[in-house]
Structure formats: C-alpha cells, structure tokens
Amino acid sequence: MKRVSHGIGAIGIVLLTGVPALAQAPAGGGQQAPPPMTNLQVWPKDTPRAQVIQTMNAFNDSLGVQCNYCHVQEGAGGRNDFASDEKREKRVARQMILLRDSINVVLPAIVGKPAGAGPTAAEGHPGAPIRVLCSMCHHGLPIPRSIADVVTEAATGGAAAGLAKFKELRTQYYGGQQYDFSENGLLTIAQRAMTAKNPDDAMAYLQANVEYYPKSARTYQAMAQARNAKGDKQGAIKDLEKAVELDPRNAQARNQLQQLKGQ
C-alpha cells in the first residue's frame, strides 16, 4: 500500500539524518533503532512507536495529506524533525485529537449505548457505540467542505466560474470520498441559485447535471422550476413531462405538471 510504505520511508529518513550520534548500526540488518519519541503530549510517552506510526498513516489518509503537512520533513539533506511543534497544523491536529476523544467520551450516553455493550445490536442490547474518527469529518480533505459551498463561493463570478470549479474538482477527486459527485451535488448548487433568485445560473448547473445524469428525473423537475421562474411555461411543461417519463412514481412531478397545464 502506497501510504504505508510512505510512512516507513519517512521514518527511514529520520533514521538516516535525525540521529548522527547513533551512527553505528547494529550488526546484521544494518538497521538502527529509531530515535525515541520525545514530544508526545496527548498520548502516553511510552506509546509503542508502531502504534503511533499506524495512527499517523491514518491521519494521512483521513485528511488526504502527507506527513510534511504537519511535520518538519524536508527529506534527505534537509531538516527532519517529527518532534518539533513549529507547524501550526501539528498543533491544530493535537487539539483535534482531544476534540475527537471528547466527542467519543460523551457519545455513548447521548445515543444510549453503554461503553461496554457488545458489538452487535441484538435481543434488547443496543450494540456498541460507534467511535467517531478523523475521517468521518474530514473525508479526505484537510479542511472539509461540501461541494456546494466550494462551488457557490467560486460562483461569485457567475455560473461559468462555478461550473469551471466543479469540473476541476470532479477531474481531481471523482471516485474518492472528498466530494459528493452524485446527481445531488449540482442539484443542491442549483437549488441555492434558485434561492438567490438566479434561475439562469440554476439552469446552467442543471444542464451540466443532465449531461452527467441523463436519467435524473429530479434534475428535469428542477429545470422546470427554473424555466417557470423565467416565465417559460411551455419549457417547464416539457421538462416535467420528461421527469414523469423517467420516473413514473414521482408523484410530486406529476402534480406539478397537472397544475401547470391547468393554469
């Protein structure tokens, strides 16, 4: 696995450059003991190194970063100091560990699952409480945000700028856990444009969405709403007919269609 081997590589660099005093390697493997950890503040000082490194690899995955996001790690010839606290990100991460742990302390009582409960819910037992992980909030991003927030912010320059941002993120992250690229993503963004009384922008997002999801009845339904707001009743009727055709069980679209036709 790529990230695990990266973590081991990082330690390798520490071994080579971090401790010149321990220069003579033990006979045999040519490996020397890693330097003792000197600056654990939230975890017990004697936490086994392997356990710390395993958690560090999980941090990388959870936030979608490398070790040097939090640590001074310049590679061969540079400074490599995992104990240093000079990076703001490491200091924030320490507080984040405490935040996560404090959530996990109160969570069992909130959901009524006692900490000692068994792993599965069965026969009146509520099951074990779920432990909150960094990844549950961060989903692969150092600063977790929804696709709707990122695109809406970029769209202060109009829907074209918003769509450009969407496509850029989609190219980079599609298939990953970072952003919602289901039909919901652009639907939510279009809905925000409607709320901001901007049906033209909403149409631009929805038209892009039917290119990705040609069978999305909800997108046609939303397009009808946008066209209606622009005064294009005939266009709205066409879109609603398409929505009903794609999803005959969509009673809401059916009602909206009847209403529009009756007007």
Taking the complex as a whole, the smallest distance from the CB of residue 40 to ligand HEC amounts, in Å, to 4
Taking the complex as a whole, the smallest distance from the CB of residue 263 to ligand HEC amounts, in Å, to 45
The pair phi, psi for residue 50, each rounded to 5°, is: -60, -35
Buried/exposed code over 85-121 (b: 16+ C-beta within 10 A; e: otherwise): eebeebeebbebeeebeeeeeeebeeeebeeeeeeee
Taking the complex as a whole, the smallest distance from the CB of residue 103 to ligand HEC amounts, in Å, to 6
Q: Quick count: other Cβ atoms within 10 Å of Cβ 247?
A: 18
What x-and-dash track marks residues 116-135 binding ligand HEC by CB under 6 A? ----------------x-x-
What sign results for the dihedral spanned by CA atoms 65, 66, 67, 73?
A: negative
What whole-number distance in Å separates Cα of residue 81 and Cα of residue 122?
A: 49
- CA-based nearest residue to 69, from 50, 37, 100, 91: 91
- Whether the CB-CB separation of 119 and 112 falls below 8 Å is answered with no
Q: Does 94 bind ligand HEC (CB under 6 A)?
A: yes
Taking the complex as a whole, the smallest distance from the CB of residue 32 to ligand HEC amounts, in Å, to 15
Q: Does 138 bind ligand HEC (CB under 6 A)?
A: yes
Q: Does 161 bind ligand HEC (CB under 6 A)?
A: no
- Whether the CB-CB separation of 14 and 80 falls below 8 Å is answered with yes
Which listed range, 94-102, 114-122, 149-157, 172-180, lies at the site for ligand HEC (CB under 6 A)? 94-102
Size of the site for ligand HEC (CB under 6 A): 39
Taking the complex as a whole, the smallest distance from the CB of residue 259 to ligand HEC amounts, in Å, to 41
Which listed range, 93-101, 106-114, 171-179, 185-193, lies at the site for ligand HEC (CB under 6 A)? 93-101
- CA-based nearest residue to 160, from 204, 209, 211, 100: 204
- Note the residues at the interface with ligand HEC (CB under 6 A): 7, 10-11, 37-43, 52-53, 56-57, 59-60, 63, 65, 67, 69-71, 82-83, 89-90, 92-94, 96-97, 100, 132, 134, 137-138, 142-144
